[in-house]
Structure 1
Amino acid sequence: MTTPSRRTLLTASLAGLTLGACSAPGTDGSAATTSTAAGKATPKPSSPSATGSTASASPTGPAPEPAIAKTPGADIVSGPADRNQVALTFHGQGPVELVHSILSACHRADAHITVFAVGNWLEATPGIGREIVAAGHELGNHTWSHQQMKQLSPAEAEREARKGAEALRAAVGTAGWWFRPSGTQHSTATIRAAALAAGYQRCVSYDVDPGDYLDPGSSAVRDRTLAAVKPGSIVSLHFGHPGTATALPAILAGLRSRGLAPVTLSHLLADA
């Protein structure tokens, strides 16, 4: 359960933080079912994007802790389909110059993302976590060292989740609300127990995976994402891959042309 001191941190001047799972070629047949949150976030007033779209600008800054984050349950695979928002989530590790390219594209498009950061990457890249949050994005826990979590013992899985949370606290002052396991799209009972032991009630999956971590080329990343995305989608993307950074401006333009606002996960899952 969330303690008052943790909740105070989560609603402080840093942007609201979110946590979350990792792409792998295979899926877990015993995965938990899709969960969504009801209600709507309050976006900023509508304004045209660089492409002339009239989609609402993406809300930024702290968001209240969504109710879905407060109780254990199935993996969160997508958000509410009754609002024109999507969450672009990035598995966070890789060269800083590619991170800056992605952040710049988001700034130009008034888009906000959720970054599930790898703990030892945060530790090895001082300041990057605060830079991401200061730009109005969210951070989440993507384990300490990006292991194949389905292959870990319960003790090893818990260590990955706990050390990832500690790295987040050291980087930005809070461990946030969400956990995404590495090496698998879906959690298992062992993974969910590890996340809970580290303070996370939910694991976050996704419903759109363009396979950008396989480096299929920027055009494929763009086309696969836009072909699958819909209102409420949670999209899996990755730092550290040039094709993803190159594809992102076109992905953002495509979303805007459909009236879909790219928002942080906490805003996508916000309560009414």
Structure 2
Amino acid sequence: MTPTDRRAALRAGAAAALTGALTAACGTDRPAGTPAPGAPSPAPTAPPGPRRFPGSPAEITHGPRDRARIALTFHGQGDPALARAVLTEAERAGARITVLAVGDWLDRHPRLAGRILDGGHELGNHTQRHLDVNALTEAQAYAEIDACARRLRRLTGSIGAWFRPSRTPHASPHVRRAAARAGYPHVLSYDVDSLDFTSPGAPAVVRNVTGSVRNGSVVSLHLGYADTVAALPALLADLDRRGLRAVTTTELLT
């Protein structure tokens, strides 16, 4: 299998997982989404785009409280080496994450889009330049969201699964309208803030999450901070002890 075929197969597996259709192959060590020996390679599959969840609000802060699942969501910008370290730590623990990427960060580091998806994770939109999106006019907000969406489509074939407003946990009504116009039926907020962007130290990041997280929580984290990378092994181990499974946001809500 060529590298191109392998990436297509891995993306097909990630897409299936995000819709709840992926099942692990029994009795093998093959990565999910990789065809069995001798089987034909699947056709390239674009990453899943935004989905509408009937009955869910325009702005989603958490998932169902009756299932032991949580979503670790990462604001996507900063040092690419730290971003790769986050992905590696998550994958080591069997966790899937959601990355809301800033468009101009993807412009500078385009290979990270494929790296995120190839790891079975989910990729979304965090505006093009990470401005205070609520302070913009509706037309300006739409331009920021749409510019990032176009980067995502160019790199992955999809505008991404989610939109998260930049520099605010909650989108104003006019930003929600702009996001819907750009193709995102729901805005993704969160109910647990790690405060990792304040660089409080890894133990504090762990405490900030574990002290508030519960079934259905959506946790806010960042890719570009060393404290976040250092906190992840202990954080993921604590979630595992509590029986909380870290899944993508789409899996959380499906």
TM-score for both structures, normalised by structure 2: 0.81
User: What is the one-letter code of the residue matched to 2:86?
Assistant: I
> Relative to structure 1, is the Cα distance of residues 66 and 114 closer, same or farther in structure 2, using a 3 angstrom cutoff?
same
- Percent identity for Structure 1 against Structure 2: 43
Q: Alpha-carbon deviations, 1:75-106, whole Å to 9, x = none?
A: 10000011110000000011111011111111
1:251 is the counterpart of 2:235: yes
Deviation, structure 1 residue 240: 0.6
User: What is the one-letter code of the residue matched to 2:58?
Assistant: A
- Pairing 1:80-229 to 2, within 5 Å after superposition: 80-229=64-213
Preserved contact between residue 89 and residue 237 of structure 1 (Cα < 8 Å): yes
Q: Alignment RMSD, CA only? A: 2.4
User: What is the one-letter code of the residue matched to 1:252?
Assistant: L
Deviation, structure 1 residue 126: 2.1
- Superposed structure 1 runs of 4+ greater than 4 Å apart: 40-45, 60-67
Query: Match of 2:4?
Result: none
Q: Within 2, Cα distance between the matches of 1:66 and 1:81?
A: 20
1:13 is the counterpart of 2:21: no
Query: Match of 2:27?
Result: none
What secondary structure does 1:228 align onto?
coil
User: What is the one-letter code of the residue matched to 1:116?
Assistant: L
What secondary structure does 1:145 align onto?
coil
Unpaired segments of 5 or more residues in structure 2? 1-10, 25-31, 34-46
Preserved contact between residue 193 and residue 209 of structure 2 (Cα < 8 Å): yes
Q: Which has the higher helix share?
A: 2
- Pairing 1:48-87 to 2, within 5 Å after superposition: 67-68=52-53, 73-87=57-71
Query: Match of 1:242?
Result: 226
Deviation, structure 1 residue 153: 1.3
Larger Rg: 2
Preserved contact between residue 71 and residue 201 of structure 1 (Cα < 8 Å): no
What secondary structure does 1:15 align onto?
helix
TM-score for both structures, normalised by structure 1: 0.76
Preserved contact between residue 71 and residue 202 of structure 1 (Cα < 8 Å): no
User: What is the one-letter code of the residue matched to 2:177?
Assistant: A
Q: Within 2, Cα distance between the matches of 1:72 and 1:189?
A: 16
Preserved contact between residue 103 and residue 125 of structure 2 (Cα < 8 Å): yes
What secondary structure does 2:220 align onto?
strand
Q: Within 2, Cα distance between the matches of 1:91 and 1:133?
A: 15
User: What is the one-letter code of the residue matched to 1:160?
Assistant: E
Unpaired segments of 5 or more residues in structure 1? 1-11, 18-39, 46-59
> Relative to structure 1, is the Cα distance of residues 204 and 65 closer, same or farther in structure 2, using a 3 angstrom cutoff?
closer
